[in-house]
Every structure is written in C-alpha cells, then in structure tokens.
Structure 1
Amino acid sequence: MPAHSHSRASRPKAATALRFGQFAAMGTVAVLILIAGVWASWGTAQHVMLTKGRERGTMTVTQCADDHCTGSYQPASQGSTARDRVVLDSEVAVEKGRTYTVVVKPGTDEVVRAGTGGLLYAWVPLGGALMLASVVVAGGLGRTRLGWVLGGAGLTLVTAAFLAL
C-alpha cells in the first residue's frame, strides 16, 4: 500500500474532528451567552415574578438624577410599610410626577417596576442575549433557521418591553 493512501484516509477523520470541535465550541459560546442573559435578567425578574411575601405598592417619582429616580412609596400589600424615599433605576422609562406600581427589593429601599412593563423590562438582557446568540448559532453552528428563531424571539422581547414602558 502506498504511503499517500493512508493520509487520504485520515483527511475525512480530521475534517470530521474539526467540524465537531467547531460545533462544540460555538455551541458552548451560544449556551454561555444565553446563561449570561438569564443571569443578568433574573436579578430583577425574580422580584417582579415572585411577588408572594414581597412588599408591593406604588411609587410617586419626585426626582430623577444620573441613573436613578427617587420618590415616596405607598404600600398596597399587607405587611408593607410606607416610605418617604425609595429608589428606582431611571433607565426604566419613568417621568417625574407620575406614579408607578412597584415591588420593593427585600431588605432595601430599592424598588423595581411591577406589572407587564416591569416584567418585560426585567427580561431585556435575555432578549439581547437571544439576539447575540442567534448570530453564533446561525454563523458558527450553521443552524440558520434556529438562528432566525432566536433572533426573532430576542427582538420581539426587546420591542415588547420598549412598547410596554
């Protein structure tokens, strides 16, 4: 058997190994992006979604500066106490003088928007992660349809949050 026939037989194996390596690497990157999106969203989403036992009420915005707004808090749930000053992340489209439904983060004077708008806003980081992962899935994994589905889901989530707020 000539020496060159052995190298031809190993080429398909090498190509298969490289394809598997690319698939594993890009799959890992896509999964890590999605995990990071869920992780970033969960910090706020847990307060909006799991409201049992949490303080719920309304906040009237009195002042906004830099990256947060402050205002008074009026309770709407049992066990909740009124506060003269609570803090809301001002990146959540708020206007001075308006009243918003909020949930108090336990042990703090920080609040997060409640309701549909607050829930959608809490998951915006996941929406961004879905859009980013769609590029990895479509380009790196060659799964174009799945990439379009992920990207569309992310865009829908971000757009819905924008419209709800």
Structure 2
Amino acid sequence: MASPGTTKRSRTRRASESAFGLLLLAKNVTMALVALLILVAGVWSSWADAKPAMLTKGLERGTVTVAGCGDDWCTGSFAPARAGGDSHRRVRVDETVTDGVGDRVPVVVKPGTDEVVRTGAGGVLHAWVPFGGALLLGALVVAGGLGMRRTAWALGFLGAALLGATFATLTV
C-alpha cells in the first residue's frame, strides 16, 4: 500500500525507469570491458619482449656491438657472456635501446630467432612501453566512459611514470 499523500507510478513509468537502468548498466559493463581489453592488449604486446628481458635464466646472454642501424632496427655481432656459447654473426636489436653505431649493449637472445632484447633496467622498462601506452589510453576510457576520475588519474600517472622511467633509463 502506498503511504498517505503519495501517488502510485504508472506501469509505463516503472518500465521505462528499469529500462533506463539496464541501459546504464550495459554502458558501464561495456566500458569496463573495453578498458580491460586495452590493458590486456598492452600486457600481451609487451610480454614478447618483457619475458626474455626479465626471465633470463636458461637463455643465451651476451653483448651486442652495433655495426649499423636502419629505420627501426640495428644490427651487430653478438658475443656470448660465457665461454663456449654460440657466437652469432649478425643479430637484430631495437634501435631505441642503443646509442647508435659502436654502442655495446647487454642483451639476451630470443629463443629460435636472430633477435636480441636488451637486459637490465632499461631493457625491462623498454619492454613494458606498450603497457604504459595502454595505461594512458585505458585512463581515458575509465574517465570518460565510467566516470571514475580518481582511478583514471592513477592509471594515467602509472602509464606516464612508466614511459618517463623508460626514457630516463635509456638516455643515461
């Protein structure tokens, strides 16, 4: 029973209010899934380089002496860190982790390829750059789509800090 002085809402109004609530819920779930998809994609694309850079046990470690650079890649000779290791004539390393021709970079060989990944703090941070970008993009989705401003600021700050730390370690 309705309390005295109040009127009962019509069936049509109650149905439209619940439909609007369902639309809001669907929007929030969709935006949360989009933000999660962006973050998972960032981790997925970072993991190919981050895994050998962080988990070097059992992988072939050494040093690359950069001989030449192209658009995105530098090539050079690989010298293994331990005696008896395979000496690769020519390997590829991402140009952004080197200072150019003549630079000697500590690396690890990606299994089954002629590609190497920089090790150490600079290499690990560089491997996670796609995730840093995903954090920045995810922050926009969280702020605009979900209205969670503080969470978005935290995601954006973490992404910017990761990118800034990468820049700082690779330029020193």
Q: In the alignment, is residue 148 of structure 1 matched against residue 153 of structure 2? A: yes
Q: In the alignment, is residue 26 of structure 1 matched against residue 31 of structure 2? A: yes
2:98/2:105 contact within 8 Å kept: no
**Structure 1 runs (4+) greater than 6 angstroms displaced:** none
Q: In the alignment, is residue 41 of structure 1 matched against residue 52 of structure 2? A: no
Q: In the alignment, is residue 115 of structure 1 matched against residue 120 of structure 2? A: yes
1:55/1:79 contact within 8 Å kept: no
Aligned length in residues: 164
Of the structure 1 ranges 93-102 and 130-139, higher mean CA displacement relative to structure 2 is found in: 93-102
TM-score (norm 2): 0.89
**Aligned-partner SS, 1:18:** helix
Partner of 1:157: 162
CA distance in 1, matches of 2:137, 2:90: 38
1:30/1:136 contact within 8 Å kept: yes
CA distance in 1, matches of 2:122, 2:96: 13
Unmatched segments (≥5 aa) in structure 1: none
Partner of 1:13: 18
CA distance in 2, matches of 1:79, 1:130: 42
Supply the AA of the counterpart residue of 2:15: S
Partner of 1:66: 71
State the Cα RMSD in Å: 1.8
Deviations 1:1-46 (A, max 9, x none): xxx8112212321221111001110001000000100000001001
Supply the AA of the counterpart residue of 2:157: G
Partner of 1:52: 57
**Aligned-partner SS, 1:102:** strand
Of the structure 1 ranges 82-91 and 130-139, higher mean CA displacement relative to structure 2 is found in: 82-91
Supply the AA of the counterpart residue of 1:94: D
Partner of 2:5: none
Partner residue of 2:141 out of 136, 143, 155: 136
**Aligned-partner SS, 2:96:** coil
Structure whose CA Rg is larger: 2
**Aligned-partner SS, 1:88:** strand
Structure 1 residue 113 displacement after superposition: 0.8
Unmatched segments (≥5 aa) in structure 2: 1-8
**Aligned-partner SS, 1:80:** coil
Deviations 1:39-70 (A, max 9, x none): 00001001101111000011110111122111
Structure 1 residue 162 displacement after superposition: 0.9
